[in-house]
Amino acid sequence: MYKLKVILFTIGVLLLAGCGGNFNQTKLILQQVGACIDEYPDSAFFLLQSISSPSELRGKERADYALLYTQACDKNYIPLSDDSLIQIAVDFYGGEAGINAARSYFYLGCVSWNKSNYVDAVDAFFKALEAIPPKTTDRLLMQIHVYLAESYNGERLYQDAREHYLLAYDNAAARKDITDMYYPLRGIGTSFLYLNLPDSALSYYNKALNVSCLIGNVDMEKYLLSSIAGCYELMEDYAMAGEYASKVIEMGDNDLTNMYQIKGNALMHTGALDSAYYYLSLSTSSADLNTRAIGYYNLYKLLKEKRDLRLAEYVDSLLLYKDSLNLMERYKEIQELKEEHFEQAKRQELLQHKSRLKLCSIAFCLVCLLVVIICFLIIERRRKQHYTLLQSKLVENKLDNIRKYMKGQLGETIELDIKLKELEEAEIKNCIHSFQQTIWYKKIANLDEQWLSAKEQRELFKDLSTIFADFIESLQGENPAIKDIDVYFCILSAIGYKLKIVASCLRTNDRNLSTRKSRLKKVLSKTVFDFVFVNH
């Protein structure tokens, strides 16, 4: 039945691959890959490669392709070292919570984890946890916690690593997935071992060993037996350490030198020096310098106890490999310093770039604000000019209407301009009479060179604007550009106040008003100027 499913699936893959150039078929391929990638990752990878022009994909299809291709590489054990592809999926799905967003951030973290950049990896994994739907039991949750724990182990935060291994185990237990229980249990044991708690580590290693036996995975079983042997050696229980090392040796493996070392060390401590020498000699052929150095060190202790003449030879070998290990450690430290310096320089460059962008944004905003202000001022100026012109025309039309009315009532024999002048003067005199009835008239007359307060000035101008509205309209109609302060100067002068009194009302000096008077003589008609400044 299983073979039939594989055959049918392969036929479907080939049929879809033949139609990969069409957009609708590409969309169908992506849906098919999403449905089969967990069960048939190799076929899913082949199917994704059949899409001829993935760079032409847009929107959701482009993001799905990036996510599925990264996922297929991971499931087919193809190393993930470049984040440019998965970043497409992060940019598309990362804005909102959901399983696709969580998976995108998870694989982004895997790329950083593969480069041993644990800080960025932890950041991406936590974003994946935030994006994953609440109360989910998806296997992805277990993977995120496992990788978080591995990242914390890389940063030597073993307590935090253990907590995430426990959360991963809870997820596997909730799904009743025995296979997935293996990795968290093994990880918890390793965390306890890093924390120098071999008893607790041994307990979880044994639980993981039971799981590996249940699922029948020999490689898992050998790894756990080796770890248990190491725990017993750390606890100085050499009999049990030798027993578990023997089990691993009997099962066979590509590299058993570590087990030879544990077995030889156990035999040495139990007094079987000849057998110990045999296994320790085998351990010195290890490709791992640590194992080789420990083997030579144990041979040195063994031959020292036997008083063998080859003792000096093994001491020299021990020192040689110890120096090699020190050089490797120094080289590793130098590489870490170089990487740290590179990361720091990269962060500094990024900060400078952000600072430049910020300054450019501020400058752009200020320029835009300045342009808006200038445009507003121009528009406001034109608007005032337009309304001043309209007001002037309105006054002119009003005078024309009065002339026509008086012409009809009084006939041609009457000089209209003279009559209009008389009417305007009579109207202004009525306004002056009205003002004389207010409290301002006597208050201003008694100022005695004392200025009005700013508040009093505003109230005075308000009352003057109300009483002399028609006169103000006439002045502005005759001279649209006349200033408000000049208007109030004309009104107060027309009322009959002396120059010093007017200066106190306008909060200035009489010299300044004399200058204003000279300027007004040039812009006002002689009739108006004489009425305001000469006749009073």
For residue 386, the tally of other CB atoms under 10 A from its CB is: 10
Q: Which two tokens stand for residue 291?
A: 């194992």
What's the Rg (C-alpha) of the chain? 48
413 has pLDDT over 60 = no
Letter string b/e over residues 245-261, b meaning 16 or more CB atoms within 10 A of that residue's CB = bbbbbeeeeeebbbbbb
Q: Please work out, in degrees rounded to the nearest 5, the angle formed at the alpha carbon of residue 487 by the alpha carbons of 486 and 491.
A: 115
Q: What is the pLDDT of residues 48-57, one digit of tens each?
A: 888 877 888 8
For residue 7, what pLDDT is reported? 44
Q: What is the mean pLDDT of residues 444-464?
A: 81
Q: Which residue has the higher pLDDT, 302 or 93?
A: 93
Q: What are the DSSP calls for 3-14, one per residue?
A: HHHHHHHHHHHH
For residue 326, what pLDDT is reported? 59
- 184 pLDDT band, cuts 50/70/90, is very high
* pLDDT > 70 fraction of the chain, expressed in percent and rounded: 77
Please give the Cα distance from 208 to 178 (Å, whole number).
10
Please give the Cα distance from 436 to 90 (Å, whole number).
81
Q: Which residue has the higher pLDDT, 386 or 256?
A: 256
* pLDDT > 90 fraction of the chain, expressed in percent and rounded: 6
For residue 106, what pLDDT is reported? 92
257 has pLDDT over 70 = yes
199 has pLDDT over 70 = yes
* CA-to-CA dists, residue 128 to 104, 108, 140, 275, angstroms: 8, 9, 9, 53
Residue with tokens 């008003």: 513
Q: What is the pLDDT of residues 357-367, one digit of tens each?
A: 788 888 888 88
Q: What are the DSSP calls for 131-195, one per residue?
A: HSPTT---HHHHHHHHHHHHHHHHTT-HHHHHHHHHHHHHHHHHHT-HHHHHHHHHHHHHHHHHT
- Domains of the chain, by residue range, sit at 415-534
Q: What is the mean pLDDT of residues 239-248?
A: 85
Please give the Cα distance from 232 to 240 (Å, whole number).
6
**Highest mean pLDDT range out of 29-38, 155-164, 289-298?**
155-164
pTM of the model: 0.54
Sequence-separated (6 or more) residues with CB below 8 Å from residue 336:
none
Residue with tokens 């696709």: 100
For residue 528, what pLDDT is reported? 78
Residue pair 27/61 in contact (Cβ under 8 Å)? The answer is yes
For residue 20, what pLDDT is reported? 42
Residue with tokens 């204003």: 516
517 has pLDDT over 80 = yes
* CA-to-CA dists, residue 494 to 310, 419, 439, angstroms: 129, 20, 18
Q: What is the pLDDT of residues 321-364, one digit of tens each?
A: 555 555 556 555 655 655 665 566 666 777 777 778 788 888 88
